[in-house]
Structure 1
Amino acid sequence: MATEVRQINSSDVLPIRHKVMWPNMPISYVKLEGDMNARHFGLFVNGKITSIISLFTKNNEVQFRKFATLIEYQGLGHGTVLLKNIINVIKKEGAKRIWCNARVEKEKFYKKFDLKATTNKFNKGGIEYVIMENIID
């Protein structure tokens, strides 16, 4: 299995975001303010994009958003490969904090990447989220 992480365009992430995260909503629902200025990455497996993530940087902090793996590739480690790679990139760039809005049921997954749950929780579209972060020394 040949894998490669590549920077991609915002237009490349929208179909996967939509299909995986909010398939019952219009595609406009998965567009984010700032998408045009964010960095987007995809994991390609044998030339096919299987997992995506978007990075939003502000004040030396990086928020990753809309991290998604196509359903047929979930549970195979594709998301893990992508997130490990992206966290290494963020650390090399010198960011002081990495954070995300995680679905509460995915909290255990993010803990594997040294992200810790904060006390900040919220609800969007009937789904409960928790802000998770890693403060980098």
Structure 2
Amino acid sequence: MYPDMPFDAVKLKDDFEGIHFGLYADHKLSGVVSLFPQGDVYQFRKLAVLPAAQKLGYGTKLMDYILDFCKIQKATELWCNARVNAKEFYFKFGFRETDDTFFKDGFDFVVMELGF
């Protein structure tokens, strides 16, 4: 996710409240994503795929999985803080861009939402 930063930089104070998913390829953890529910609204964070495993469809597989998971949980909305340079990826899944933007850790972000 942030390969030039220490591991502790990606830890969140509420990590223990999240639901964490991993994708293994050839017995190696190659991708991750975390879901954080608040009632029937879910936020996903920390979607990341190892650099060597990118462009193999693993990010899409993780997104498909959490979308199905949210539907099973009867979520009404899923949202994320997307890097602006990755928003096209989220458009493929039906997310819409909001007017909420911010800058953090050297990246521009936009809040993106998907209703179920």
Correspondence for 1:77: 57
Q: CA RMSD in A?
A: 1.0
The aligned amino acid for 2:30 is: T
Gaps of 5+ in 2: none
TM-score normalised by length of structure 1: 0.81
- CA offset digits 1:28-64 (Å, max 9, x no partner): 2110121011110011123221110001001211100
1:58 to 38, 42, 55: 38
How far apart, in 2, do the equivalents of 1:115 and 1:87 lie?
11
Counterparts in 2 of 1:102-117, with a 5 A limit? Answer: 102-117=82-97
The aligned amino acid for 1:135 is: G
Percent identical pairs in the alignment equals 41
TM-score normalised by length of structure 2: 0.95
Gaps of 5+ in 1: 1-20
1:34 to 14, 17, 25: 14
* Total equivalences in the alignment: 116
Counterparts in 2 of 1:1-137, with a 5 A limit? Answer: 21-136=1-116
